[in-house]
Structures are given as structure tokens and as C-alpha cells.
Amino acid sequence: MAFDFSFSEEVEQVRGVAKSICDKLAPQREKLIKDIHVHRKFPHALWDAAAEAGFLGCLISEKYGGNEMGMLPLAVAVEEMAVNGYGNAFFVVTNMDASCIAMNGSEAVKQKYLPKIASGACKMAFAVTEPDAGSNTFRITTYAKDVGDHFELKGQKTFITGVDESDAILVVARTKSLDEVKALGQPKTFGLSIFVVDSKSPGIELSLIPTHGIEGMNQFTIHFDQVKVPKENLVGELDMGTMALFTSLNPERILAAAAACGMTQFCLNRASRYANERVVFGGKPIGSYQALAHPLAESCIDLEAARLLLYKACWNYDSKKSPFDVGSSANYAKFFAAEMAIRAVDRAIETHGGYGFSEEYELVWLWTSARLLRTAPISREMILNYVSEHNLGLPRSY
Ligand SMILES: Cc1cc2nc3c(=O)[nH]c(=O)nc-3n(C[C@H](O)[C@H](O)[C@H](O)COP(=O)(O)OP(=O)(O)OC[C@H]3O[C@@H](n4cnc5c(N)ncnc54)[C@H](O)[C@@H]3O)c2cc1C
């Protein structure tokens, strides 16, 4: 048979475990949700339960304490938690970092970090964005200088999620400046390197950026002032970090799509329930009005399409398809799922009328979360640029 759309028993079990984690949190749900959305407190109870279930070891081999289940079960776990109203960006970020270390790290760096990540003892942030570089990663100026027995990191990263809660940060830095790269006659993709940096290292300072969009976590500008990074914390080859970078960015896009699918299902569940119960005219529930029902039906069809894109991207990743195949499918999945989630939240709020804005229904908080997915982890424009250039062969405009 060419296609089989059924999930394996293992994947179904993972979905069941993710659901039972959410069910167990039900007695404390009201406080937990408020802590996450209003007080922006990190959901330790959710993190600990996910770690205990092995969800942080899916992309890590058994040799380093993981379970090697792969991207599909992980995406299903992320999706199921979001179906139950729990966003989990830090879980996404730590897993994307784990993927990068597992695929590119030296034996020393793998031994040092992967077992701690798999057990949940090491939360990781990811830092590429800089104030003056933004979407143009090759323009970053944070510099790691080789000073003999270690590297010295200097520069600034911005919008870094959850770094205050993190134990380590995967940092993308230049080890050759753009000028040095030019002088060597190399392309601008050359001279980037990736490091694991201990979040408590002397020389690191954080400034809070009041931001919305990611549940239970804050964003910071990180200032690195001559931060000492051990030589063994280099991930992948010196100056050749560009390809390695995508082994974390693709998983991030796939897992962002999974979160968007779960968020959409959450919205549809809430909206359908409310539309069946709410009566305002003539004894019929508002769900009988096609003006409300059809947009929800469209979101239902959207969700089926988004899930197919998502699971194909997972399959490409797990089957170790080419970077082009994994990258393309991760981009398609993230793009479609983000746009879908924005529409779904809007439609669920519309279905709830004024109650859509009440905290009780938990929808209004998802407004910024869904909208953020259009802009981050990669903006819709940069995905469309990628698709235009790499999938359609069109000339680059920038
Ligand atoms: C809540 C939040 C959390 C974040 N967490 C992290 C994190 O943990 N780690 C991290 O490294 N970063 C993080 N980011 C940064 C995020 O990835 C960037 O904000 C995003 O990639 C866009 O970069 P920018 O904000 O600099 O926008 P810019 O690059 O300045 O772009 C501005 C606008 O111009 C468009 N644009 C730019 N260039 C082009 C082009 N060539 N063609 C068409 N349009 C273009 C963009 O799509 C965008 O709409 C986070 C951001 C937010 C808001």
C-alpha cells in the first residue's frame, strides 16, 4: 500500500499520555491557566509531567538518555497539550535545541547536555535574533573569539524567550565577521558557529522586553560581555554553523505547526460546544445559523489539511529526508497552520460574542498567541520568500 494514514500504537499511546497529563492537571487548571496567561509564570507542573512522560527525549538517542521516539510522537504530544489549552513554547525550544545538539554535537557536548535535556533537568533557550539583524541571520554581529583554551562571547540578542527560566542557551554567533568572510572570498553563510552557553555564566545580563504572545514566558534582550564559553560547547564545525542551524529551525517550525493545530482544535471544541448551547432567538441554538457554522466548518477542513502537512513534515524529518525536503515541508506546515490558527481563534471569539473576550472562556489569550505564529519563529514573508526561490525557482528580490 502506498499510503497508510493510521497512527501506530506507539503514537496513539503518546497522545493518550499527553491527554492524561492534561486531565491530571484539571483540578488546578483555573489557577494554572491564570498563572500562565496573566502572571506569565512558567508552568513547572506541565514541564515536569512532560519530562516524566519522556517528551523531552523523543529526539535524543537511548545512548544519551532519550527514547528516540522521533518527531511524529513529539508533535502529537505538543498538539494534544494545545488541544487542552496548554501552549508549550519552552518545550518546543528545548526540543529544537536537542535536535541540533544530537545531530551536530561532538561526543563531549552530547554527553554533557543531552542526558540532562532528556530528563527535564536542563531547560534551554535559543538565541539567534539580534536588534540590527532581525530576519537576516547572516547580518548578526555577536562574536565568539577564540582565546586559546575557550571562546569569549560578546554581543546582544533580542526577543529571547524564557532565558530567565533556562539552564543553557543555544547561541548562534559569528566566528568570522562579515568583513573577514568577504576578505576570505567566502559566502556570507560562512563564519557562523553554534554554542551551548550556560545561562548563569558571568558576563550575561538580561533586560526584560514586555511582550505578548508566548504563554507562561517572557522575552529578554541578552547582553553578552566577554562570556567564557568552553571549547567543547561548540556544536558542529567552527564557521560552518549554517547547515547545523537548520537542524534546530526545522524542528521549531514543525512543532510550531503542531501547536497551531492543537490550538485550532481547542478553538473548534470550545466554539462548537458554545454554539450548541447558546440560544438568543426563537429557541434554536446559534450553531444553527450558517453565518456561524460555516466558518467553523471551514476551520475544520483547514485543520485536516494542516495536520496532513504537519505529519508529512514529521515523516520527512524522521525518515532523514534531504534538508530540502525537511525544510520545505516544515515551512509549508508552519505557514498553513499559523494562518489557520489565526482564523480559528477569530471565529471562536466571534461565536462567543462578547463572552469571547471574557477570560473565563480562555479564547482572548489565544489571540496574540495565534497571531505571533504568523511572525515567529519565522515570518510568513520569509517563508514565502523561501518557497518562491527554492520551490518555484523564482529570482530573489532582496
Ligand atoms: C514573542 C516573541 C518571542 C520570540 N522568541 C525568540 C527566541 O526565543 N529566540 C530568537 O532568536 N528569536 C525570538 N523571537 C524573534 C523572532 O523570531 C523575530 O521577531 C522574527 O523572526 C522577525 O524578526 P524581526 O522582528 O527582527 O523582524 P524584521 O526582520 O525587522 O522584519 C520586519 C518585517 O519585515 C518583513 N521582512 C523582512 N525582510 C523581508 C524580506 N526580505 N521580504 C519580505 N518581507 C521581509 C518581515 O517578514 C517582517 O514582517 C521572538 C519574537 C517574539 C515577538
CATH code for position 192: 2.40.110.10
Q: Whose CA is nearest to atom 21 of ligand 1?
A: 378
Percentage of residues in the chain with pLDDT exceeding 90? 96
- Report the CATH number at residue 77: 1.10.540.10
Confirm or reject: Cβ of 256 under 6 Å from ligand 1.
Answer: no
d(CA 170, CA 235): 9
Whether 372 is in the pocket of ligand 1, judged by its Cβ within 6 Å, is yes
- State CA 320 to chain mean position distance: 20
CA of 377 to the centre of ligand 1 (A): 7
Q: Is the CB of 213 under 6 A from ligand 1?
A: yes
Q: How far apart are CA 256 and CA 46, in angstroms?
A: 18
Same domain, 249 and 373: yes
Confidence of residue 308 (pLDDT cuts 50, 70, 90): very high
Is the pLDDT at 2 greater than 80? The verdict is no
Whether 350 and 299 share a structural domain: yes
Residue 356 identity (one-letter amino acid): G
Would 286 be classed as within a structural domain? yes
Q: State mean pLDDT over 19-46.
A: 94
Same domain, 103 and 46: yes
Which of 119, 135, 168 represents a domain boundary (last residue)?
119
Q: Are residues 76 and 214 in the same domain?
A: no
If one residue of 139, 159, 195 were mutated to test the ligand 1 pocket, choosing by the most ligand atoms within 8 A of its CB, it would be 159
Q: Is residue 261 part of a domain?
A: yes
Residue type, 142: T
Task: Measure the CA–CA gap between 292 and 95, rounded to whole angstroms.
Answer: 38
197 and 237 co-located in one domain = yes
Instruction: Note the pLDDT of residue 3.
Output: 85
Q: Is residue 45 part of a domain?
A: yes
Q: pTM for this structure? A: 0.97
User: What spacing in Å lies between the alpha carbon of 379 and ligand 1's midpoint?
Assistant: 6
Query: Quick check: is 397 in a domain?
Result: no
Residues 152 and 273 in one domain: no
Q: What number is the average pLDDT over the span 327-332?
A: 98
* pLDDT at res. 206: 98
* The ligand 1 atom nearest the CA atom of 382: 47
Q: Determine how many CB atoms are found less than 10 A away from the CB of residue 258.
A: 32
Strand partners, 281: 284
- Domain annotation covers residue 2: no
In a domain, 100, yes or no: yes
In a domain, 22, yes or no: yes
Give the pLDDT score at 397. Answer: 85
- For the chain, how big is the Rg over CA atoms in Å? 21
The SS3 of residue 164 is coil
How many Å lie between the centroid of ligand 1 and the Cα of residue 135? Answer: 5
CA 136 to ligand 1 centroid distance, Å: 9
**Is the domain of 372 the same as that of 264?**
yes
Ligand 1, atom nearest to 93 Cα = 8
> Which of 375, 383, 394 to probe ligand 1 with, by most ligand atoms within 8 A of CB?
375
Range of the domain at 152: 124-242
CA pair distance 220, 369, nearest whole angstrom: 17
| Residues 292 and 348 occupy one common structural domain | yes
Q: Please identify, by atom number, the ligand 1 atom nearest to the C-alpha of residue 129.
A: 11
Counting the structural domains of the chain, the total is 3
Q: Which residues contact 140 (CB under 8 A, 6 or more apart)?
A: 128, 130, 133, 155, 172, 173, 174, 192
Kindly tell me if the per-residue pLDDT of 88 is higher than 90: no
Q: What is the pLDDT of residue 87?
A: 87
CATH number of the structural domain spanning residue 300: 1.20.140.10
Residues 251-303 have pLDDT tens digits of 999 999 999 999 999 999 999 999 999 999 999 999 999 999 999 999 999 99
Q: Is 217 in the pocket of ligand 1 (CB under 6 A)?
A: no
Statement: residue 215 has pLDDT above 90: no
Whole-number average pLDDT of the chain:
96
Which of the listed residues 242, 265, 295 is the one where a domain comes to its end? Answer: 242
Mean pLDDT of 347-359: 98
- Cα separation, 162 vs 183, whole angstroms: 37
CA 55 from centre of chain = 14
Specify the pLDDT at position 245.
94
Please check whether residues 252 and 308 belong to one and the same domain. yes
108-166 pLDDT, tens per residue? 999 999 999 999 999 999 999 999 999 999 999 999 999 999 999 999 999 999 999 99
Q: Give residue 251 CA to ligand 1 midpoint distance, Å.
A: 18
Q: Verify that 25 and 111 share a domain, yes or no.
A: yes
Atom in ligand 1 nearest the alpha carbon of residue 133 = 26
Q: 128: Cβ below 6 Å to ligand 1?
A: yes
- Give the residue from 100, 119, 138 where a domain finishes: 119
Are 220 and 258 members of one domain? no
Do the domain assignments include residue 3? no
Residues 151 and 224 occupy one common structural domain: yes
Stretch 234-259: mean pLDDT, rounded? 96
Average pLDDT over residues 320-336: 97
Cα 292 to middle of ligand 1, angstroms:
34
Pocket test for ligand 1, best of 93, 129, 219 (most atoms within 8 A of CB): 129
